[in-house]
Structure 1
Amino acid sequence: MAKVTISLDADLAIELMLMSGTKSPQDAVQLIALDYLARGRRTEARTGDARDARRTAEPRPGPSEQG
């Protein structure tokens, strides 16, 4: 896997390390990014995406069905 170097503010790196419980800023950023992506996938699986809106919408009565 290719590696990317990113510069972060030292305070932000420390906050990420504390939040993730790691001793390395690189590990902290990697864990938080992976968690963020996994959370997004879980949300999409639970709620669907924009294409699913048409499938789950209530059918609207057509012009011939209106009273």
Structure 2
Amino acid sequence: MAKVDISLDAELVVEVMVLAGIGSPQDAVEAVVRDYIARGHRTETRTELRDQALREVDVRPQDPQG
């Protein structure tokens, strides 16, 4: 996997390290990024399931009116 070097505010990185309980700045930031991506995938899955359920409701035959 390709690597990217970035600069971050030291206070931000220390905060991430404390909250994540990880001693390495690299590992702490990587853990946060991986968690962010995983949350996005979970949100996509939930949204997709909800949209699929709504489509199924729309497809059901309507009762005759009148």
TM-score normalised per structure 1: 0.71
Gaps of 5+ in 1: 60-66
Over 2 Å off, 4+ runs: 54-59
Gaps of 5+ in 2: 60-65
SS state at 1:48 partner:
helix
Structure 1 or 2: more helix by fraction? 2
RMSD over equivalenced CA pairs, Å: 2.4
**CA-CA distance at 1:47 after TM superposition:** 1.4
SS state at 2:6 partner:
coil
Structure 1 match to 2:30: 30
CA distance in 2, matches of 1:27, 1:47: 30
Structure 1 match to 2:55: 55
Structure 1 match to 2:21: 21
TM-score normalised per structure 2: 0.72
Size of the aligned set, in residue pairs, is 61
Listed one character per residue, the Cα deviations across residues 15-57 of structure 1 (whole Å, up to 9, x for unaligned) are 01011111111101100000000011111111129x85x8357
Percent identity, aligned pairs only, is 53
Structure 1 match to 2:39: 39
CA distance in 2, matches of 1:33, 1:16: 11
